[in-house]
Amino acid sequence: MSEGTVIIETIASKVLRGNPLGDPFVRRVPVYLPPDYDASDKRYPVVFVLTGFTGRGTMLLNDAPWEETLPQRMDRLIAQGIVRPMILVMPDCFTRIGGSQ
């Protein structure tokens, strides 16, 4: 089974700069690229995967016993033909009070 790639982008947000909570305006954002992305000239849909309250995008990369990470799940679903290849963006929306920006 082919594997996708996860890259970590660093984003400096003009909107978050100087926010009232003092939250960081520079964020690490994981991006899942489907298998063969680099070898293809296809266009892919982009899906923004938001975590729940107190969550951050990097949490979706954590591996746990008996569970797939999000990239592993996507690789399997793409290989099985259940979903089409797509790009997943996992933003960090965490705030000092745990909420979402």
100 pLDDT band, cuts 50/70/90, is low
Side-chain-facing half-sphere of 51: CA atoms under 13 Å: 22
- Look at residue 11 and tell me whether its pLDDT is greater than 80: yes
* Alpha-carbon gap, residue 4 to 13, rounded angstroms: 27
Whether the predicted model's global pTM rises above the 0.75 cut = yes
pLDDT for res 101: 57
59 compared with 99, residue with greater pLDDT: 59
* Alpha-carbon gap, residue 82 to 87, rounded angstroms: 15
Distance of CA 52 to the CA centre of its chain: 13
96 pLDDT band, cuts 50/70/90, is confident
Query: Other C-beta atoms within 10 Å of 34: how many?
Result: 22
* Average of per-residue pLDDT across 7-32: 93
* Alpha-carbon gap, residue 9 to 63, rounded angstroms: 20
pLDDT for res 1: 72
Q: Kindly give the residue spans of alpha helices, DSSP state H, lying in 7-101.
A: 70-79
Summarised one tens digit per residue, pLDDT across range 21-77 is 899 999 999 999 999 999 999 999 999 998 888 788 888 888 788 889 999 999 999
Beta bridge partners, 100, equal 94
